[in-house]
Amino acid sequence: MSGDIVAVWEVALSDGVYRIEFEHGTTTGKRVIYINGKEVFRKDWMFKLVGKEPFSVGSTEVKAAISIEAVTGLSYEYTLEVNGKSLQTFRDNRSRTTKTWLMKLDGVDTRVVLEKDTMDVWCNGQKMETMGEFADDGTETHFTVGDHDCCIKAISSGKKRKGIVHVLLVDGTRASAQAE
């Protein structure tokens, strides 16, 4: 990578956290997009210095685009859209539709993500095989990580505004959730 990196963003998806870097040559119009250090897009020469570059991120190929806008003279503003929304709006929506737990399992950093709308569970970038069942106090989604029995319980909070609470149990012990 050269020294023309003008913007860096972090995007948390169900299958991982992606670092997106954008290189923009303001004299040549060159545009390069890197995801986690790997070049995924390149245009070396462009007459038009502003515009939008679409690309996709992650194993589920989430649609993204970088917009390049002239602010004044030779200064530019770069914005990232994910799924057609600004990065902040995308993050706000994800915080409502997903729940993430970060922990160490057998000495390995482990990231578990629940997609609340589909009840899909991801662990370190892999979509997990799950088994759902109804329980007295809500639902349980069972899966295994290595030798560990895991269960995500969906329980009513008893409060209308809070709704359903999701709790991850690993070998019967509650894991703490993490905001991303």
pLDDT at position 101, please?
95
Q: What is the pLDDT of residue 180?
A: 65
Has this prediction a pTM greater than 0.85?
A: no
51 contact partners, CB below 8 Å, separation of at least 6: 67, 68
Domain 5-83: CATH class, spelled out: mainly beta
pLDDT of residue 2: 55
| Domains 5-83 and 98-178 agree in fold | yes
Q: CA end-to-end span of the chain, whole Å?
A: 27
Taking the chain (180 residues) in runs of 10, the rounded mean pLDDT of each run is 82 96 86 96 82 94 95 87 95 92 92 94 96 90 95 86 88 80
Contact 102, 12 (CB under 8 A): no
Domain residue extents for the chain = 5-83, 98-178
CATH label, 98-178, candidates 1.10.490.10, 3.40.50.150, 2.40.128.180, 3.40.350.10: 2.40.128.180
The reported pLDDT for the residue numbered 179 is 63
Q: Write the burial class of residue 101 (CB in 10 Å: 0-12 exposed, 13-18 middle, 19+ buried).
A: buried
Please report the DSSP string for 66-84 in residue order.
Answer: EEEEEEETTEEEEEEEETT
